[in-house]
Amino acid sequence: MPIRLMTPLTKDKLSALRAGDEVLLSGTVYTARDAAHKRISELLEKGEEPPFDLKDAVIYYVGPSPARPGEACGAFGPTTSGRMDAYAPALLERGLSAMIGKGERAQSVVESIAKNGAVYFGAIGGIAAINARCVAAKETVAFPDLDSEAVCRVEVCDMPLTVVIDSAGNDYYRLGVERYLRQRKVQISEVPED
């Protein structure tokens, strides 16, 4: 049964999660992709504040497509997280508690997740239209000139996610491969020789 979580995601909420846990996330999530991360990083380097409070916040690596009439947003599928790896540790140091995306993360990001008690959630890219049904409201809060890559505040309800990297740094992708290889080794050793 999925674990229900409501933002803000404090460290005590995240410490109970384990790599592989299924989650239904509700509350406020901020969208940001490559260009937005670059601008946020530039603000921080100048000693300026980011466009939203990073403390216990969640960033979803997504560029929502335009909404059809009567909908809060269009397709809401994740982009490849590795493109944000250069920016993630600095945001985690400033209180970011969770990231949502797809794909593996650099070792430096895994270490920063563990150091800061954060998590990395995986979202399924192939269900972007279904994910959009989880969006109750969307509002642009920074960098509107970036169009679909602008930073938006999004209210989600029961968004389905998987804990890929937990707050201890356990990586579900790595653990899954190791488990598969162990099972495969057992199956091969059970095959009788002729």
pLDDT of the residue at 187? 60
pLDDT of the residue at 189? 57
pLDDT of the residue at 174? 87
User: pLDDT tens for residues 85-104?
Assistant: 999 999 999 999 999 999 99
Long-range contact pairs involving 108-115 (C-beta distance under 8 Å, separation at least 24): 109/85, 110/165, 110/169, 110/171, 111/169, 112/88, 113/165, 113/167, 113/169, 114/167, 114/168, 114/169
- Structural domain boundaries of the chain? 3-190
pLDDT of the residue at 191? 52
Q: Which residues contact 148 (CB under 8 A, 6 or more apart)?
A: 63, 64, 65, 66
CATH architecture label of 3-190: Alpha-Beta Barrel (3.20)
pLDDT of the residue at 64? 83
Tell me the two tokens of residue 66: 């335009």
Reference 91, options 64, 61, 65; nearest CA is 61
Tell me the two tokens of residue 104: 């593996």
pLDDT of the residue at 179? 77
User: pLDDT tens for residues 150-184?
Assistant: 999 999 999 999 999 999 999 999 887 777 777 77
Catalytic residue ranges: 37
Per-10-residue mean pLDDT of the chain, 194 residues long, equals 95 94 97 95 95 96 86 85 96 97 96 97 83 88 94 95 96 83 66 57
pLDDT of the residue at 167? 96
